[in-house]
Amino acid sequence: MMKVLLTVLRIPDLRKKIMFTLLMIIVFRIGAHITVPGINFQVLEDYFKQAAGGAKGLTDYIDLFAGGAFKRLSLFALGIMPYISASIIMQLLMVVVPNLQRLAKEGEYGRRKINQYTRYGTVVLCALQSYGITVYISSLNVQMPGIIEGGDSLGFVLLTILTITTGTIFLMWLGELMTERGIGNGVSLLIFAGIISGAPSAVATFWADVQNPTGTLDMLLVLILIVIFVIMIGLSIILSEGQRKIPLNYGKKIVGRKIYQGTSQVLPIKVNAANVMPIIFASSLLLFPSQIASYLEGSYPGFSAAIQAYLAPGSLVQMFLYIVLIVFFAYFYTAIQYNPKDLAEALKKNGGFIPGVRPGSETEEYIEYVLNRITLAGALFLAFIAIAPDLIINIWDLQKYSNMAYLFGGTSLLITVGVTLDTLKQIHSQLVMRNYEGFLDKSRRSPIKARVGIVR
C-alpha cells in the first residue's frame, strides 16, 4: 500500500489533481468558519449550548450535512444541499416534461442547458432558505438578545440573504471545479469533508465520557458499539460493491475469412446502482420542511413544533418517510442507469442472448424482472443501514451521543464509504492507465479484457 501511495505522489498529473482537491476542501473548511456579517457568534454559540438536546438533535442533524456551518451561521450555512434539491426537482421534471426530455437527448448542448436551469433553481432555493434563516435568527434574538448586532433590520435581512446565497453558489462552483480538475465527484467530496470535519470533536467527547467513572457508558456497551460499527462498515462495502451477474452468450461471427469464436460474458447489475444518491436526496427532502418549520418557530410556534416533532430524527414518521424516499430514489436512479429495452436491443444487434431466454421482448422482460428484484433488495438494505443509528439510539437510550451515532453510522457512514470507494477507484484507474499497479486485487481480470472476445 505504501508503495502505491508513493507511486501516486510521483505521478505529476495525478499529484496535481489530488493536491488541487485537498486545496479546495481547505477553502471550503475556511469558509465554513466565516460568520455572516451582523451576527455575534459567541452569543449564538451560547444559545445552541443551552438548547443542546432539544428537538431530538434536529439542528445537529442539519448541521452534520453543512459541516458545522449551520450552527455558526457561516457563509456556507446551507452547504451544498440547495444544489442537490434543485437537481432532484430538475430530474423529476425531466421525467414528466416532454421539452426537458428532448433537451436531455441533445448531447452536450442539452446537458449544459439542464445544468444552467439547475443553477437557476439553486439560486431561487438559496434565496428562499436564506430568508427563512433570517426569520429563524430573529426569533432566536428575541429569546437571547445580542445574537444580531445592531438589531433586526431590513439591511441585515438583505445582507444575510445575499451572503448565504453567494456562499452556496460559490460552493456549487467549487464542487464542479473539483470534479473537472480534481479527483472524484466534487459535490460528494464536499459533503464527505463536512461530515468528517465533525469526527474529532465527537470522538473526543465520547472518549471523555467513557473515561468518566460517573458516566453512563460502560466498556461492554462501548465494545458492542464498536462491533456494530465494524459490521456496518462491512455491510456498506458489500452494498456498494455487490453485483448480480446475468450470463450472456454470443454466437460465432464470420468476418471475411476469419471466424470469431462465440464467447461467454456477463451483464453486471449492481445491487445498489444508485450508490449514495438515494440517501443524499432523501435526507435533503426531509431536511427542507424541517428547516422551514424551524425558521417559522417564532411566528407559528404550534405548527413549527408539530412539524419538527414528526420529522425529528428517530421519530416513527421520519423513519417511515425516510425508507419510502430511499426506495423511491433507488428505483428512480436505477431506471435512469439501466434501460431494459435498450439493453435487449443492443444484445440482439450484437448477436448476444441470455441462455434460456429468447432475444427481443422476452429478454427485455427478463432484465426488467431481475432489475426490480435486485433493486428492491438493495433499496431495503440501504434503508436499513440508513436508519440504523436511530435504532441504536432508541435501543440503548443514547440521545446524548446522537451526534456520534449519526456521524459514524447510517447516512454518514454510507456517504463516507461510497465517496471513499469512488475516489479510490478513480485513482486506481489513473494508475492502471499509466501502467502502474493499482489499489485493487491484481488477480481480478481487467474490465477491458473481459469485454474482448477470443479470436481463433
pLDDT digits (tens, 9 = 90+) for 216-236: 667 777 788 888 888 888 888
- Cβ neighbors of 77 (< 8 A, separation 6 or more) are 36, 66, 69, 70, 133, 164, 167
pLDDT of residue 164: 93
Domain ranges of the chain: 1-197, 210-456
Looking at per-residue pLDDT, the higher value among 124 and 200 belongs to: 124
Per-residue pLDDT band at 214 (split at 50, 70, 90) = low
Mean pLDDT for 130-143 is 85
Mean pLDDT for 24-29 is 93
The answer, yes or no, to whether residue 16 has pLDDT greater than 60, is: yes
Give the cell for residue 65. Answer: 450535512
pLDDT digits (tens, 9 = 90+) for 307-323: 877 887 778 888 899 89
- Cβ neighbors of 117 (< 8 A, separation 6 or more) are 90
The answer, yes or no, to whether residue 253 has pLDDT greater than 70, is: no
pLDDT of residue 22: 93
Q: Please, what is the angle between helix 277-295 and helix 361-396, to 10°?
A: 50
Mean pLDDT for 87-106 is 84
The answer, yes or no, to whether residue 178 has pLDDT greater than 90, is: yes
Q: What is the CATH number of domain 210-456?
A: 1.10.3370.10
The answer, yes or no, to whether residue 456 has pLDDT greater than 50, is: no
DSSP letter string, 113-173? HHHHHHHHHHHHHHHHHHHHHHHHHHHHHHHSTTSBTT-S-HHHHHHHHHHHHHHHHHHHH
Looking at per-residue pLDDT, the higher value among 49 and 97 belongs to: 97
H or E element, residue 30: helix 12-31
Greatest mean pLDDT range, 55-64, 285-294, 380-389: 380-389
Q: What are phi and psi of 149, to 5 degrees?
A: -80, 130
Residue whose entry in the numeric block shows the C-alpha cell 431536511: 287
Per-residue pLDDT band at 394 (split at 50, 70, 90) = confident
pLDDT of residue 56: 46
DSSP annotation of 357: S
pLDDT of residue 446: 44
pLDDT of residue 367: 92
- Per-residue b/e over 371-406, b at no fewer than 16 CB within 10 Å? beebbeebbebbbbbbbbbbebbeeeebebbbbbbb
Length of the chain: 456
Q: Beta partners for 352?
A: 250
The answer, yes or no, to whether residue 305 has pLDDT greater than 70, is: yes
Per-residue pLDDT band at 203 (split at 50, 70, 90) = confident
Around 146, how many Cα atoms within 13 Å sit in the side-chain half-sphere?
A: 8
pLDDT of residue 415: 81
pLDDT of residue 209: 72
pLDDT digits (tens, 9 = 90+) for 36-77: 998 988 888 888 777 654 444 556 667 777 778 888 889 999
Per-residue pLDDT band at 126 (split at 50, 70, 90) = very high
For 15-24, 117-126, 385-394, 442-451, which range has the lowest pLDDT when averaged over its residues? 442-451
The answer, yes or no, to whether residue 440 has pLDDT greater than 70, is: no
Looking at per-residue pLDDT, the higher value among 128 and 198 belongs to: 128
pTM of this prediction exceeds 0.75: yes
pLDDT digits (tens, 9 = 90+) for 327-382: 998 998 888 778 898 888 888 888 888 888 888 889 999 999 999 999 998 899 88
Q: What is the C-alpha to C-alpha distance for residues 220 and 237, in angstroms, rounded to an integer?
A: 26
pLDDT of residue 127: 92
The answer, yes or no, to whether residue 267 has pLDDT greater than 80, is: yes
Using alpha carbons only, what angle is made at residue 38 by residues 35 and 43, rounded to the nearest 5 degrees? 70
Looking at per-residue pLDDT, the higher value among 162 and 286 belongs to: 162
pLDDT of residue 393: 78
pLDDT of residue 54: 43
How high does pLDDT run on average in the chain? Answer: 81
What superfamily does domain 1-197 belong to in CATH?
SecY subunit domain (1.10.3370.10)
